[in-house]
Structure 1
């Protein structure tokens, strides 16, 4: 293994001004956009309002992204595999769960004009959206891609190119949001299967994270240009950090689960069927 991760061109210990300013501005704009939508939803329907917990969840997710993409974590991630893994946990698992539980699609549907809302609903019910939002596809995109990243030369190539590294961040975030939505998201999901199926997918994700982190810890089949102690430390962060994130996702699944209402027989029909025959 090499002695350190390949440094990005133009990267300094404190991070370039653009590397700090641009993510901070984007995250601030996203947080402000959500708050403006909340204000509009409350004005449109004051009686319904909007949950403060969901707002807090979204702001927490944005804050976690800020921690991951800004100093001191971002420069640490460029220099140390353990920092990279902390960044991966925050961007790919913890922030997505907080953002998804904020129900941004539901908020958007409450604030859009009726025609735009129908268009968005049609997109959400379209066959491509149903396929992408299925837990199996979300699992493959989020957890399955980790094997390709760490068990092939892909990680070495991505960390050597700043643009590719930002694309990796985007993949972590989007695939993490997709999996959290497929398992426990409060937003509408027409193709979402039952609770048992989602628990099975969550169990597969837990097992896959454990196997990949153990392969990284042992140095088997991995291609990571970092010292052995950094690789083992990063594997431990992935193992234990992933367990905590997936436990939180399981709690969210239980908290957002609602049993299907039982259909009640019409009055008179049940009585005629169950009443004893008269002689």
Structure 2
């Protein structure tokens, strides 16, 4: 009966939110989250000591992003996610669509570039390696929408509707690897769209919105496909432990509903962030033009008036 290879999870009591949020850390993600917070904090402190400012909002965003990862990977949600499709789907949605957005708003790459010391002449330190990576062809490819949109879609369909998912779910390691993949895919998908950080692929705002909306319908369809199914579609979840007191099909329908509802939340969040960024860049542009006009005494306007006068003269 125990085809899932982890006897621990077989006798979990019925799921409640209280039980789901109990501390039960996955070692890999616990270390990763603490490291991320520690390094980010070190960067901010380094800037402060130097007398440079770093927006508090970014620090809060990054911390929330890390906490959202810890929330789904370092609590009992992670244990329940091994045996309940609906809980797994919450983990997947948070880590692939919510955490990346909030982490990116923290601008970790910008912070690293500003905080890391410049290596001496002819030497390569962490900062130089990071810059090299940012400018690499590899980065240009993996952050290009021609790559990220299909990858985003494939991580849903190709993974869940193929034997790969069941294979990964057979072990904790496979499960962790899958979650790392979801987080990485979310980061490369949202980075060109709404990341504050410099990246190799930076389309204009209208293109970014199109990129955002290109991926979302597939997410919704995926959720609907799960909700409409008349039998359990994923082997790993077809025989939930009796102690949970759940029906596999009802749980799958719930998972579909979660995937469908969630596909809207990030779209709205990103859209708000994008409109805000767009507005700010327009304001910066306007200020720049005002400053230029002050400097050259409205040369452009004078030239335009002269041009109109010449047209008028020609007309007469």
Deviations 1:62-82 (A, max 9, x none): 111111112221111011000
Confirm whether residue 242 of structure 1 aligns to residue 248 of structure 2: no
Greater than 6 Å deviation, 4+ residue runs: 262-266
- Say whether residues 1:89 and 2:67 are aligned partners: no
CA distance in 1, matches of 2:303, 2:128: 39
Partner of residue 100, structure 1: 104
- In 1, the alpha carbon distance for the partners of 2:145 and 2:276 equals 18
SS in structure 2 of the partner of residue 114 of structure 1: coil
Deviation at 1:23, TM superposition (A): 2.9
| Structure 2 unaligned regions, length at least 5 | 13-18, 120-124, 239-247
Equivalent of residue 37 in structure 1, options 35, 38, 43 = 43
Larger radius of gyration: 2
Higher percent of residues as helix: 2
Distance 1:192 1:84 in 2: 33
What is the Cα-based RMSD across aligned positions, in Å?
2.9
- Residues 122 and 275 of structure 1: CA distance in aligned 2, closer, same or farther (over 3 Å): farther
Deviations, residues 219-240 of structure 1 (Å, cap 9, x unaligned): 2898412311111000001111
Alignment coverage as a number of residue pairs: 273
Range that drifts further, 211-220 or 17-26: 17-26
Q: Which residue number in structure 2 is paired with residue 274 of structure 1?
A: 308
Distance 1:220 1:270, change over 3 A: farther
For structure 1, the 5+ residue unaligned runs are none
Matches within 5 A, 1:40-55: 40-44=46-50, 46=51, 48-55=52-59
Q: Which residue of 1 aligns with 2:181?
A: 171
Greater shift, 242-251 or 97-106, is seen at 242-251
Question: Aligned runs of 1:128-167 on 2, under 5 Å?
Answer: 128-167=138-177
What is the TM-score when the length of structure 2 is the normalising length?
0.77
Task: Quote the offset at 1:154 in angstroms.
Answer: 2.0
Q: Which of the numbers 135, 150, 167 marks the counterpart of 1:125?
A: 135
Q: Distance in 2 between matches of 1:220 and 1:272?
A: 74
Inter-partner Cα distance in structure 2 for 1:202 and 1:18: 34
Residue number in structure 1 paired with 2:210: 200
